[in-house]
């Protein structure tokens, strides 16, 4: 297996378990145990996903005594939302252009056919 | 089974009441002569390479980008109900591949209820997208995060 070491935020959200972790820690900082409680998979497996999220820069992982606290980095996650918004914006703009064009076309047609009803 | 009404499977739905009869709206959406006037963002041109408007027919539009690259949109029509519905697969390169566009037209007197959706239709597709590193079904996390960021808590 090739080790794809290029971590980025989109890789972070590419996995359902990681998305669920993001969902959990976006509410409040949580320790590893509290996160693992939400999953059927083993704690080391959850830990592995958290490590990836850390590498992707989406969460910070801090040791506090015996606890491992995970905190979301909102600005990083926002980059994903921004990406989606840009995509959405493109369609909004396109449909707006379409509406404008329909209005122009309608005006033209109405003229052509006289006062059509 | 994927429920096509499950909003999490949809990236986007835009609904509008257009103030023109459905025939005009349909024409504006489906005729290449009209389409090339609104498809491209303002200031950009679109070239219609193919526009085979029938079930199983392909369409392909190309927009030259300012940096010399090309933005290609293409797909295959899977359903056409005249003056009511168009369903087509769509690839947008480089951006989003393998989505389905669904366009609904509903006559309402002299107006037309128009609904446009970009859909990720199947679980299988979602898994495939996941493998590609894309994400769909933007979760509620974003809404909360957005609030967090704008409140300056970051």
Residue A2 lies in a domain: no
pLDDT one-digit tens code per residue, B88-144:
999 887 667 778 899 999 999 999 999 998 876 555 555 555 554 444 333 334 444
Average pLDDT over residues B58-85: 90
Domain holding A22: CATH number?
1.10.10.10
Task: Tell me the residue range of the domain where A94 lies.
Answer: 74-117
Nearest to B145 among A11, A19, A77 (CB): A77
Residue A17 lies in a domain: yes
Residues A42 and A25 placed together within one structural domain of the fold: yes
Number of alpha carbons in the 13 Å side-chain half-sphere of residue B117: 18
Residues A60 and A113 placed together within one structural domain of the fold: no
Residues A46 and A57 placed together within one structural domain of the fold: yes
Nearest to A101 among B16, B28, B139 (CB): B28
Residues of chain B whose C-beta is under 8 A from some C-beta in A?
11-12, 14, 16, 18-21, 24-25, 27-29, 34, 37-39, 41-42, 95-96, 116, 118, 130-131, 133-135, 138-142, 144-146, 148-149, 153-154
C-alpha closest to that of B24 among B147, B133, B110: B110
Residue A4 lies in a domain: no
% helix, strand, coil for chain B, step of 5: 25, 40, 30
Q: By the 8 A CB rule, do A94 and B114 touch?
A: no
Our CA-based measurement puts residue A54 at a distance from the nearest CA of chain B, in whole angstroms, of: 16
Residues A23 and A57 placed together within one structural domain of the fold: yes
Chain centroid offset of residue B9 CA: 14
pTM: 0.61
Is B141 in contact with A73 (Cβ distance < 8 A)? Answer: no
Report the length, in residues, of chain B.
Answer: 154
| CATH domain B7-150 topology | Alpha-D-Glucose-1,6-Bisphosphate; Chain A, domain 4 (3.30.530)
Number of separate domains in chain A: 2
Our CA-based measurement puts residue A75 at a distance from the nearest CA of chain B, in whole angstroms, of: 6
pLDDT at B51 over 50: yes
Give me the pLDDT at residue A5, please: 53
Chain centroid offset of residue B16 CA: 14
β-strand partners of B50: B60
**Token pair 């005006």: residue:** A107
Residues A62 and A85 placed together within one structural domain of the fold: no
Is B28 in contact with A102 (Cβ distance < 8 A)? Answer: yes
Looking at per-residue pLDDT, the higher value among A112 and A40 belongs to A40
Distance CA B139, CA B147 (A): 14
Residues A43 and A56 placed together within one structural domain of the fold: yes
Our CA-based measurement puts residue A14 at a distance from the nearest CA of chain B, in whole angstroms, of: 5
């Amino acid at each position: 297996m090739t080790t794809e070491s290029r971590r980025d935020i989109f890789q972070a959200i590419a996995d359902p378990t990681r998305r669920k972790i993001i969902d959990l820690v976006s509410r409040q900082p949580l320790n590893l145990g509290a996160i693992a409680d939400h999953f059927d998979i083993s704690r080391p497996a959850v830990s592995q996903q958290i490590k990836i999220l850390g590498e992707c820069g989406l969460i910070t992982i801090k040791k506090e005594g015996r606890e491992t606290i995970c905190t979301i980095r909102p600005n990083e996650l926002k980059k994903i939302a921004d990406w989606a918004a840009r995509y959405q914006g493109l369609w909004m703009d396109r449909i707006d252009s379409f509406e404008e064009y329909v209005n122009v076309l309608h005006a033209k047609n109405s003229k052509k056919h006289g006062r059509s009803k | 089974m994927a429920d096509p009404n499950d909003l999490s499977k949809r990236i986007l739905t835009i609904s509008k009441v257009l103030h023109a009869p459905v025939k005009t709206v349909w024409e504006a959406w489906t005729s290449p002569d009209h389409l090339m006037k609104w498809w491209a963002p303002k200031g950009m041109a679109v070239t219609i390479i193919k526009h085979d408007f029938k079930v199983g027919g392909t369409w392909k539009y190309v927009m030259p980008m300012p940096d010399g690259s090309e933005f290609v949109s293409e797909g295959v029509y899977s359903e056409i109900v005249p003056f009511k519905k168009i369903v087509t697969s769509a690839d947008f390169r480089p951006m989003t591949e393998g989505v389905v566009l669904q366009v609904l037209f509903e006559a309402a007197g002299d107006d037309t209820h128009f609904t446009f959706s970009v859909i990720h239709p199947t679980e299988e597709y979602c898994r495939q997208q996941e493998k590609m590193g894309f994400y769909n079904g933007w979760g509620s996390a974003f809404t909360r995060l957005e609030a967090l960021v704008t409140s300056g808590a970051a």
